[in-house]
A and B are shown apart, each in its own frame.
Chain A
Amino acid sequence: MGGGMSSATLFTEDPRNVSDSPALLQRLSGIQPVKLLVIGFAIVVLLALIAYPLALLIGYSLIDAQGNLAFDTFEKAFNRRGMWAATVNSTVLVGLVTAGACALGIPLAWIVARTDAPGKILVTLAAGISFVIPSFISVVSWIFLAAPNSGYLNKLAVEYLGFTQAPFNIMSFGGLVFIEIIGVYPLVFFAVSAALHNVDASNEQAARVLGAGRLRTTLTITLPLVRPAILSAIILVMLDALSSFGAPAAIGTMANFSVITTKIYDLLKFPPQFNYAAAVAMPIMVVTAVSLLIQKYAVRAENFRTLTGKASSEQITTLGRWRWLAAGFCIVVVFATAVLPVGALLLLSVLSSFGADITLSNLVTKHYALIFDADFVARGSIINSLLLALATATVCAGLGLVLGWVVERVKFIGREAITFLVMIAYGFPSIAYAVGILMGYVNLFYGTLTLILIAYAGKLLPIAFVLVRNGIQQLSTDLEEAARISGAGWLRSVRDVTFPLVRGAVGVAWVLVFSLSLRELSMSAILSQADTQVMPTVVIQFIEDGAIELAAALSVVIVTVSLSILGLIRFFSRKKTAVVS
């Protein structure tokens, strides 16, 4: 082996040239400890964040106050006073909101995607704004506009339009339905208009060539093609309305009605009744699970038609004199969902007091001064919110990267389970999830921001996961394999190749999670204590205390920070070097 010796000294980094290496040592070189450690850690965190609280929630709904197995918890929970009324309210709310969002969103999508109505761009902009503003902030705006007596629209109507009594009352069940509709209709609008944009013109042209008229083509070709998009959006809207908490809490308190989510919140007030809260959350969980299954099997089965075309000018319908009717509809929507609420919020935040005349002398900055006052609760909540958003976004982006990589790149049985678990967390109502977090971690992290961070991270992880996973999906495996062949280990190949190439997706995920963390209310309401208030809980507190001007000022802070951080997306989606093949 004379020759072998010299080669071994020359190329010691090459294990194959270390002659006669023992079998065990050789076997060990096949193990990749860093990879196992990182992936294992991410999976443990995932289980702790999502699987554990959900298991607790289901478990608690099956026991009585003493911890014994009991199946009458549901019965007892729902026989509590007002519980059936709350259930009926929730059901009616879901039905009306879904119908309303479709009635608003589908025609708007068609007008924007397929007609020559003027002002189309404004509708998209308004829907975007409406989507960014959480419903508890809409409540602040609409109290200003349409509170029974002092709302400025009511005053306008009575004083100048000859109404004998105030025409609007936002502090009612109808008011709640209205606020929820303008909050969720963008889901329908964006989904359907994207689908309409993607229907290749040749599909419709083929029908026209065969003799179908414009209306017939729309009904028999276009609508069926976008039906999956409509169904998906409807399911999202239903789940959103069912699990909504902010607006029902704010309006329900004033108008004296409850829905299921506000009942859960009440059950957790001192003394907390975890088992009843868990039992009441069960129906929401079941509806959510069923909806997600419908979505997965029914809607996706129908969605085999991949829509990949580009709308062309040939698909634009000329409305003729109907054009102005469509434009009128658009303008009403733009005003009602964006201009009025945003204007109201800004105005209210600088008005000396709610109800004062709108004159220059009544405009003040004292509310903002108070918001940022060091001795006042709002300032602490701003800091808490920003810290939490920062931490949540970072945790979610990191976890999303590792889990997305695992699911896309490693073949093992558990990867379907990871996807399933993450998507469960996505569809899961926040309020129920927060109950699970409370039960699982209250002893460890009572009254700390960590408790809220756990909840935020678990609930928002799906958004980061889906975005980053899509990014990884678009990367050819070859790119990473080329790095491995070049001698880079797993971690290094991820650092040098995978991460730089999905940096855009990770960045967008970070920004979105940050922005969503800032406006999270339902979980914060349950989990925050005196020292761990966040901006949304303080807004709700201001509303309940009647300090509506302060609520407006703090809401402006939330919306401003959210919008400016969302502006970073442009930065992340800018192509730096090349299109990935």
Chain B
Amino acid sequence: MNFYSPAAHILPAVEAQPARLELRDLRKKLGDTAAVNGIDLKVAPGESVVLLGPSGCGKTTTLRMVAGFLQPEGGEIHLDGKLASSASFALPPEKRHLGMVFQTYAVWPHKTVADNVGYGLVVAGKKRAEIDREVAAVLELVQLGDLAKRYPSELSGGQQQRVALARALATKPTLLLLDEPLSNLDASLRQEMRFELRALQKRIGITTLYVTHDQDEALVLADRVVVMNKGRIEQVGTPEQVYRTPASRFVGNFVGTANLLEGTIVTVDRAAGRVSVALDAGDITTARASAGWLATAAPGKRATLLLRPEDIRFDRPEKPDQQTGLDVRFVSAAFLGSRYELQLTAKDTPLRMQSRTPGSFTDGRVRLWFRPDSAWVVA
């Protein structure tokens, strides 16, 4: 059964399909601080976009403006090419035809699972038989078919989560909003739900805007990740892009664990998109860099390199990017089952490393090698 034939047929089949959601220079103050400070974003039909950032970065404020619960003070929100919010106009939430899953689930405790899920259809004035059919179909989709008559208090947290999701999907919205939907689940269930949500999103092809502060969640769920900080967008890119080629130190640090090594540029090779850098911690290495940064790069200027813990090794590769290997001192090590997590220092720079082996140190020292092509200039 194909429950969800996304509302593709309601979109004009013209060449220039409008973005399902478009934010233009969106601004909002909460109190004295600019919670959202000029955001531009387009979400294409069928795309899954995740807003990722620390608490207070403006991601939830942005989502609530899209939902229509907050009105922007500047900029515009367009849904399917039509104005939904601006400083002077706000379409009420109920007229936006959205689905939303709340952090607290917000499953109504006085209604059964079926009544929760069918509510949007009742409000839309659908016939009873049709509502029953659609509710059954969407409950099947989230694997809750046999719990339709239960009350929320009789369900586990994970099941309530599914009810909230089913309710959001039942009206076949053109855009699904999710506000940290997994943050109240325990760790193992959270991991399981991530993959399930992603599979569901792909299967029904619904356009999704997802808010989270959990980088792993973002990487699993996103077609594109929008990394936010202090009300602004730091970077928009695929999970691979934001992890491997972060646009700033902030992104590098927030998405995954980052080792940041400072140094001075020795040579610049714009054609290859690389520089070689003399690290303050010793050794000279080549690193990839963005074209924009390379445009102004010159020998003698400073650079910051990012290296992921898993890209640092004890063994010298066949064609190393480095001259001598990085001389480091042992600080501490922890065994985490699948790997060792080592804390090291190179001169005064702390370094974290993940390794299958604990390594063999001589007088507490060892030389480290970077996986070829893994060093990246963040600034």
* A residues at B contact (CB < 8 Å): 1-4, 7, 10-11, 13-17, 26-27, 29-30, 32, 476, 478-479, 481-490, 492-493, 496-497, 500-501, 576-581
Instruction: Find the A residue at minimum CB distance from B101.
Output: A482
Contact of A30 among B10, B90, B100, B177 (CB under 8 A): B90
Chain A min CB distance to B93 (Å): 4
Contact of A478 among B12, B84, B97, B104 (CB under 8 A): B104
Instruction: Find the A residue at minimum CB distance from B173.
Output: A485
Question: In residues 1-42 of chain B, which contact A (Cβ within 8 Å)?
Answer: 9-14
- What residues of A have a CB within 8 angstroms of the CB of B13 in the complex? 2-3
Taking each of A1, A488, A490, which has the highest tally of chain B beta carbons within 10 Å of its own beta carbon? Answer: A488
Evaluate whether A478 and B14 lie within 8 angstroms (CB atoms) in the complex, with A484-B92, A487-B120 already known.
Answer: no
Complex interface: stretch among B105-113, B188-196, B236-244: B105-113
19 A-B pairs, CB-CB below 8 angstroms?
A1-B14, A3-B13, A11-B10, A29-B91, A478-B106, A481-B67, A484-B68, A485-B100, A486-B94, A486-B120, A486-B171, A487-B124, A492-B123, A496-B119, A501-B108, A501-B109, A576-B110, A577-B110, A579-B153
Question: Once the chains bind, are B110 and A481 in contact (CB under 8 Å)?
Answer: no
Chain B min CB distance to A573 (Å): 15
Instruction: Find the B residue at minimum CB distance from A479.
Output: B106
Contact of B92 among A14, A32, A577 (CB under 8 A): A32
Instruction: Find the A residue at minimum CB distance from B152.
Output: A578
- Is B102 interfacial (CB 8 A cutoff)? yes
- What residues of A have a CB within 8 angstroms of the CB of B93 in the complex? 481, 484-485
Contact of B123 among A32, A478, A486 (CB under 8 A): A486
- Is B82 interfacial (CB 8 A cutoff)? yes
Given A482-B102, A485-B93, A487-B94, 8 additional A-B pairs, CB 8 A: A1-B12, A10-B10, A13-B124, A16-B79, A481-B69, A485-B168, A486-B171, A497-B108
CA of A493 to CA of B69, assembled, Å = 14
- Is B89 interfacial (CB 8 A cutoff)? yes
Question: Once the chains bind, are B90 and A483 in contact (CB under 8 Å)?
Answer: no
Evaluate whether A15 and B12 lie within 8 angstroms (CB atoms) in the complex, with A487-B123, A576-B110 already known.
Answer: no
- Is B83 interfacial (CB 8 A cutoff)? yes
Question: Once the chains bind, are B94 and A488 in contact (CB under 8 Å)?
Answer: yes
- What residues of A have a CB within 8 angstroms of the CB of B218 in the complex? none
Chain B min CB distance to A213 (Å): 45
Instruction: Find the B residue at minimum CB distance from A32.
Output: B92
Taking each of A15, A16, A26, A30, which has the highest tally of chain B beta carbons within 10 Å of its own beta carbon? Answer: A16
* B residues at A contact (CB < 8 Å): 9-14, 67-69, 79-80, 82-84, 89-100, 102-110, 119-120, 123-124, 151-153, 164, 167-168, 171, 177
CA of A11 to CA of B82, assembled, Å = 15
CA of A578 to CA of B116, assembled, Å = 14
CA of A17 to CA of B9, assembled, Å = 12
Evaluate whether A483 and B119 lie within 8 angstroms (CB atoms) in the complex, with A15-B91, A29-B95 already known.
Answer: yes
CA of A10 to CA of B7, assembled, Å = 11
CA of A105 to CA of B14, assembled, Å = 79
CA of A476 to CA of B98, assembled, Å = 20
Top 3 closest pairs, chain A to chain B, by CB = A578-B153, A478-B106, A578-B109
Evaluate whether A489 and B89 lie within 8 angstroms (CB atoms) in the complex, with A476-B104, A478-B106 already known.
Answer: no
Evaluate whether A3 and B110 lie within 8 angstroms (CB atoms) in the complex, with A485-B94, A581-B104 already known.
Answer: no
- What residues of A have a CB within 8 angstroms of the CB of B103 in the complex? 478
Instruction: Find the B residue at minimum CB distance from A492.
Output: B123
- What residues of B have a CB within 8 angstroms of the CB of A26 in the complex? 83, 89, 91
CA of A11 to CA of B171, assembled, Å = 13
Question: Once the chains bind, are A16 and B124 in contact (CB under 8 Å)?
Answer: no
- What residues of A have a CB within 8 angstroms of the CB of B120 in the complex? 486-487
Chain A min CB distance to B343 (Å): 38
Question: Once the chains bind, are A4 and B67 in contact (CB under 8 Å)?
Answer: no
Question: Once the chains bind, are A481 and B91 in contact (CB under 8 Å)?
Answer: no
- What residues of B have a CB within 8 angstroms of the CB of A497 in the complex? 108
CA of A91 to CA of B67, assembled, Å = 58
Question: Once the chains bind, are A30 and B89 in contact (CB under 8 Å)?
Answer: yes
Instruction: Find the A residue at minimum CB distance from B164.
Output: A482
CA of A481 to CA of B102, assembled, Å = 9
- What residues of B have a CB within 8 angstroms of the CB of A1 in the complex? 12, 14
Evaluate whether A479 and B108 lie within 8 angstroms (CB atoms) in the complex, with A16-B82, A484-B93, A485-B67 already known.
Answer: yes
- What residues of B have a CB within 8 angstroms of the CB of A13 in the complex? 124
- What residues of B have a CB within 8 angstroms of the CB of A32 in the complex? 92
- What residues of B have a CB within 8 angstroms of the CB of A482 in the complex? 100, 102, 106-108, 164, 167
Taking each of B83, B84, B89, B110, which has the highest tally of chain A beta carbons within 10 Å of its own beta carbon? Answer: B110
- What residues of B have a CB within 8 angstroms of the CB of A577 in the complex? 109-110, 151, 153
Question: Once the chains bind, are B100 and A481 in contact (CB under 8 Å)?
Answer: yes
Question: Once the chains bind, are B171 and A487 in contact (CB under 8 Å)?
Answer: yes
Chain B min CB distance to A407 (Å): 18
Chain A min CB distance to B174 (Å): 9
Chain A min CB distance to B344 (Å): 44
CA of A2 to CA of B11, assembled, Å = 11
CA of A527 to CA of B92, assembled, Å = 46
- What residues of A have a CB within 8 angstroms of the CB of B96 in the complex? 16, 485
Question: Once the chains bind, are A7 and B167 in contact (CB under 8 Å)?
Answer: no
CA of A490 to CA of B68, assembled, Å = 13
CA of A7 to CA of B81, assembled, Å = 14
CA of A283 to CA of B188, assembled, Å = 66
Chain B min CB distance to A272 (Å): 51
- What residues of B have a CB within 8 angstroms of the CB of A478 in the complex? 102-106
Chain A min CB distance to B45 (Å): 14
Question: Once the chains bind, are A3 and B12 in contact (CB under 8 Å)?
Answer: yes
- What residues of A have a CB within 8 angstroms of the CB of B168 in the complex? 485
Instruction: Find the B residue at minimum CB distance from A18.
Output: B82
Evaluate whether A10 and B9 lie within 8 angstroms (CB atoms) in the complex, with A29-B91, A486-B120, A486-B171 already known.
Answer: yes
- What residues of A have a CB within 8 angstroms of the CB of B171 in the complex? 486-487
- What residues of A have a CB within 8 angstroms of the CB of B82 in the complex? 16
Evaluate whether A17 and B10 lie within 8 angstroms (CB atoms) in the complex, with A481-B100, A488-B94, A496-B119 already known.
Answer: yes
Question: Once the chains bind, are A7 and B12 in contact (CB under 8 Å)?
Answer: yes
Chain B min CB distance to A22 (Å): 12
CA of A481 to CA of B108, assembled, Å = 11
